[in-house]
Amino acid sequence: MTIKEIMKDAVDSKAVAGLNLLVIKDSKELIYEETGFANIENNKPYTRDTIARLYSMTKPITGAACMLLVERGMLDLNASLDRYLPFFKDVKVYNGDFSHTAKRNPLIREVMAMTAGFTYGDSLTEPGRRTDKLLLDAADKLGTSEEVSTMDIAKGLAEAGLIYDPGTKWAYSTAADVMGAVIEAVTGMRFGDFLKKEFFEPLEMNDTDFYVPENKRSRLADAYDVVNGEFSLYHTNNLDIKYEMDKRPAYEAGGAGLASTIDDYSHFASMLLQNGSYNGKQILKPSTVEFFTKPNLLSWQQEYMWANYPFWSGLTYANFMRRVVDPSLCGHLSFMDEYGWDGWLGCYFSNIPSKNATILLTMQRRDAGTCETTRRIRNVLADLL
């Protein structure tokens, strides 16, 4: 099948309501395709300027913001988290019904590698239950005068505690949201203001933000689930991200909060692939990009990840991005040292330095991540690159 046929088949088989794909190679557009609907009920097509909720594809941008502070000497990767956020001092670790003070406080680099001990919430651990409650309670306050802030969420996560002692394991988590609060503490700016000044404006990411202004809201795609074989609108304030994105939130989530277009995100991706440069502007230093995009885990952390997260075989993770370390173990055709991430609703980003190529997809399907459609497209793309 061709890529266009795979995308059409994904829509026809109700794998996704609509999506688009952009492939850039050697700084030139190689492929652009779009199909399906941003809103089925009104026959609104999914187009190049469709705005999508990035969810976890926000994380690489948060990671880049951290690295900018590192290269400026404002953030120390080996510093204890409580140096910047004092309420993390003597954070608790929970083991079943028992707790103890962490053997040491998490380091900044462990937060960025997701080896600090945070969780995304679950029903099996005390920190997981507390994290779920924190985010659900915060979602209930959306649109009121009591909205919680980026710093409030970080404080709540400190109170929720850790699921393991820092550095001992790996778990996908709210760590990037904690780093949003760290950036606010270090810069004295709101997280979104810092991103706009240092990244969105110089990278000409004019449609990227933690909310969608009224004059652009008609371009925001709806999210869908499939119920009884039919598409169903899926309106939820998942992870305390307001679905409508109709006003600037108090909580600017470093792990999930941004909305963007495929072209906007391509500017960020291209900057990384071009050693931190974009249209003659040096956003990050080349040495910073090299460090940022070559993350590794310690051996026992890597073993724990592969043993407990089988879909991530062949990958390592740090700095809020994955990196391919063994293509033979991956679930689709991949290249050594390619890096990027995906999002809960299916947005997908990968840079492939060995091919000087970027692959981007956006879609809005519940629980998509790197879904079957993305893997099918990746497999066909392999030889084209």
Q: How many domains does the chain have?
A: 2
Q: Which of 85, 54, 89, 32 is nearest to 220 (CA)?
A: 54
Q: What CATH number did the domain enclosing 116 receive?
A: 1.20.58
Q: What CATH number did the domain enclosing 325 receive?
A: 3.40.710.10
Q: 214 with 164, same domain?
A: no
Give kind and range of the element (H or E) at residue 314: none
The burial class, CB within 10 Å (0-12 / 13-18 / 19+), for 68 is: buried
Contact (CB, 8 A) for 228 and 287:
no
Q: 154 with 61, same domain?
A: no
Q: 284 with 358, same domain?
A: yes
Question: Which of 137, 167, 188 is where one domain is finished?
Answer: 188
Helix H segments across the chain?
3-12, 59-71, 108-113, 126-140, 150-160, 175-187, 191-195, 262-273, 286-292, 299-308, 372-384
- For 219-241, how does the pLDDT look when each residue is reduced to its tens digit (9 = 90+)? 999 999 999 889 999 999 999 99
Give the model's confidence band at 8: pLDDT under 50 very low, under 70 low, under 90 confident, else very high.
Answer: very high
Q: 100 with 176, same domain?
A: yes
Lowest-confidence pick of 16-20, 93-97, 114-118, 369-373: 93-97
Q: 23 with 105, same domain?
A: no
**Structure pTM?**
0.97
pLDDT score of 143: 87
Q: 205 with 178, same domain?
A: no
Q: 324 with 299, same domain?
A: yes
Q: 41 with 172, same domain?
A: no
pLDDT, average across residues 106-129? 95
Question: Which of 129, 161, 188 is where one domain is finished?
Answer: 188
* Range(s) of the domain holding residue 29: 3-67+193-384
Task: Give, to the nearest 10 degrees, the angle between helix 3-12 and helix 372-384.
Answer: 170
Question: Which of 168, 188, 208 is where one domain is finished?
Answer: 188
Q: Which of 177, 143, 175, 178 is nearest to 248 (CA)?
A: 143
Q: 239 with 371, same domain?
A: yes
- For 298-330, how does the pLDDT look when each residue is reduced to its tens digit (9 = 90+)? 999 999 999 999 999 999 999 999 999 999 999
Q: How far apart are CA 147 and CA 13, in angstroms?
A: 40
pLDDT score of 96: 81
Q: 80 with 98, same domain?
A: yes
Give the model's confidence band at 122: pLDDT under 50 very low, under 70 low, under 90 confident, else very high.
Answer: confident
Q: 62 with 139, same domain?
A: no
The rounded percent of the chain whose pLDDT value lies above 90 is 96
Q: 47 with 79, same domain?
A: no
